[in-house]
Structure 1
């Protein structure tokens, strides 16, 4: 995808895209974490693609435009009437002028060094996918804390470059497909468009909340599984880039010993997911 022809003479290095629907509780903290990026961060364009919002998401985003202007950065706020994450991403991309694109969930908080670290690995002519080190925020409910304690120990998570809640691409990487397809799991689709050696995890962290409560964990896990299955069915060629580590019996036994309560909750969620098939569509991760 080419940089739009109307790009300014001094375009931003990175465009940060945030698809947001009714995110008044979370979006201000996300934007504040971007404003707090250290001096290694490149010049930013931040695009909030607010879609079908019924709360103060747009108002709170607009209130922070002055702070971004003070840093010489841009904050564009799109007030889209139609809901839907994929449509919001496509609308935001049509306005994005950066040489690299960062896709950020509205409930994520970024370490001060994160965007600078992402820029350093994306500033190349070779196609690249990058993300930060995932840090799951401490849950309020015991069941979420237990589930997260086990989940973060899984080989897939420990293997790096998970990209849940935040992933970034340079323009050479983004050129691998056109508009985002109408799918459940955009992060899985994007990650699998890159071979393992093209995916990079940088050391600075981003902080991502997990949903609260057993029923919400089941709901989100069901949609996640459906999303992965959909990508596999619709884009079978991408399977060649799937290096997801498998959990052997020995390692599973060690994980159970390390986090027995977490395993019990994780297994209960897994069994509940198998009892009923998911409906389609995107579900937020909390």
Structure 2
């Protein structure tokens, strides 16, 4: 059994977020456990790497890898190569973990059998009314409210990480990892983390379109893991119940869902 973990943070131009992310991360460590933190600043044109280096110079167990090559999957490969512990926690640089989350993940993954774990996501307060409405409805969906979705932060123990080798060049790394595990192997840790959603109509459509492409890509390339999904079906009754409770949120969510079906040529887009 292991009371240690390597936390891998891919970060591309996250100077505005990385400091708060690291502060919350170190405050969430499990007493008596060993936590190695690896920030992979990939293709940054801002001060992300320097800000992380400042934390490393404070005596934290933090390594900064500054690579000119962009790309989250490349950054994850570099982070895994530098990781010294079997348990891996993959954390987006704009996520704020609550004080108990990292401790809870390490404890949940302290087992010999393959396990996957994440916390309970809360969408950070948005500035735009359309994002607030979309997020309000989206957070009631079964995948978010009752599953272990893992967007923003997900973790696996050593036996779980052995389920795949290097990171494939795909859009949705979190979906790819989650579907390596059947629902019974996924653990929901009852600790919160704050995850930012993109602001405004145009960005919501762009990100939703990209998310849908990511799911379709996995279905095409890795159809064998789709059987592990285990999502609770929403059904017509569930949709109507939620629509009556929040007609504005439903209207915005439905409109975005329709808009993504229109032709679009979005390239890479940040998840917020």
After TM superposition, the score normalised by the length of structure 2 is: 0.96
CA RMSD of aligned residues (A): 1.5
Distance, in Å, in 1 between the alignment partners of 2:68 and 2:3 is 27
1:42 alignment partner, one of 19, 33, 44 = 33
1:248 aligns with 2:226: no
Secondary structure in structure 1 of the residue aligned to 2:82: coil
Question: Contact 2:6–2:83 at 8 Å: present in 1 too?
Answer: yes
Q: For residues 231-246 of structure 1, what are the structure 2 equivalents within 5 Å?
A: 231-246=218-233
Runs (5+) with no aligned partner, structure 1: 1-10
- How many residue pairs get matched? 271
Please list every run of at least 4 consecutive aligned residues from structure 1 whose deviation after the TM superposition is greater than 4 angstroms.
277-280
Shift of 1:12: 8.0
| Distance in 2 (alpha carbons) for counterparts of 1:258 and 1:41 | 45
CA distance in 1, matches of 2:3, 2:108: 16
Contact kept in structure 2, 1:41 and 1:113, CA below 8 Å: no
The reply on whether 1:276 has 2:267 as its aligned counterpart is no
Deviation at 1:99, TM superposition (A): 2.6
1:106 positional shift = 0.5
1:15-26 paired onto structure 2 within 5 Å: 15-26=6-17
2:161 matches 1:174: yes
Matching residue within 176, 180, 198 for 1:193: 180
Q: Deviations over 1:187-244 (max 9, x none)?
A: 0000000010001110011110111000000000000000000001100100110111
TM-score w.r.t. length of structure 1: 0.91
* Structure 1 residue aligned with 2:244: 257
Distance apart, 1:283 and its partner CA = 3.1
Q: What is the correspondence of 1:68-147 to structure 2 with a 5 Å cutoff?
A: 69=59, 73-147=60-134
Give the aligned partner of residue 285 of structure 1. Answer: 271
How far residue 157 of structure 1 moved from its aligned partner, in angstroms, is: 1.0
Residue 257 of structure 1 and its aligned partner are, at CA, apart by 1.0
- From 59, 68, 73, the counterpart of 2:50: 59
Residue 279 of structure 1 deviates from its aligned partner by 5.0
> Which position in structure 2 is the counterpart of 1:8?
none
